Amino acid sequence: MAGVIKVARPPEDKNLFQLAYGYFSTILSGMAKTGAIFWVQITGKEKSNTLEWPEQPATYSDRFKGKHFLTRRDDGQVRCTACFLCATACPAQCIHIVAGQHPTNEIEKFPLRFEIDILRCVFCGFCEEACPVDAIRLGPEYVMAGQAGEKWVYTKDYLADRQELVGGVTSVKIENEKHFTTDHNPHGNDLIATDAPHMRHH
Ligand code: SF4
Ligand code: SF4
């Protein structure tokens, strides 16, 4: 027929043994490797990396970003000034704040409500980075299992006073330094925003 081009099919590999050899040799070498590891670990010659969780908790580095917490001032008040910077920076829009007028003039505002919908959170740490007063941090806790619906919205009280963090965390910052950075610090000391260790619990 005019206009039809016949394309030659590639020759079929008749050698089934050669065809299957690659698959079987790979499976066998994998099983041999697994068996060797099983043997050295069952005989105690090599330590297993498997953790018996939850009896044996995992330990992560100090940079681990787990469940959030709110820090406190030296006088025990929640450090947050309800500036909304964390809520604005949050890509998941899961921080909800209701600001209130503080009774003293030294502190302009404070959060009447501070809630994080943890099921929407992506643990990016932007809230921590955005906060100018070291009021919110992501901590070392990673266990979040639960069944009740309300458990997934972390309230201000929960964030500021969790038993796992021994009754709350005092901020490493002091009042007069909260707006200064390394490049602009008239006090000349270095206890500043860029020097806020995540895991310094008191
Ligand atoms: S860690 Fe990221 S997603 Fe989670 S509350 Fe903070 S800014 Fe939002
Ligand atoms: S946690 Fe920090 S950034 Fe968020 S509202 Fe409070 S002071 Fe502002």
Pocket test of ligand 2: the residue of 70, 72, 78, 81 to mutate, having most ligand atoms within 8 Å of its CB, is: 81
Give dist(CA 100, CA 172) in Å, integer. Answer: 24
Residue 25 is encoded by which pair of tokens?
Answer: 């040799």
- Answer yes or no: is 129 within a domain: yes
Task: Answer yes or no: is 5 within a domain.
Answer: no
Residue 79 forms part of a structural domain: yes
Distance 176 CA to ligand 1 centre (A): 27
Half-sphere exposure (Cβ direction) of 111: Cα atoms closer than 13 Å: 28
- Residue 69 CA: which ligand is closest? 2
Task: Evaluate whether residue 197 is within a structural domain.
Answer: no
Query: By residue range, what is the domain housing residue 137?
Result: 68-177
> Strands 169-170 and 68-72, how do they pair?
parallel
Ligand 1: residue whose CA is nearest its atom 1:
123
- Does residue 28 belong to any structural domain of this protein? no
The confidence band for 165, taking pLDDT boundaries of 50, 70 and 90, is low
Q: Residue 45 domain-assigned?
A: no
- With 0-12 / 13-18 / 19 or more C-beta atoms within 10 angstroms meaning exposed / middle / buried, residue 25 is exposed
Supply the CATH number for residue 170's domain: 3.30.70.3270
**Residue-wise pLDDT tens digits, 57-101:** 888 887 888 999 998 887 888 889 999 999 999 999 999 999 999
How many structural domains is the chain composed of?
1
pTM of the model: 0.66
In a domain, 112, yes or no: yes
Distance in Å, CA 118 to ligand 2 centroid: 17
Q: How many CA atoms lie within 13 A of 137 on its CB side?
A: 28
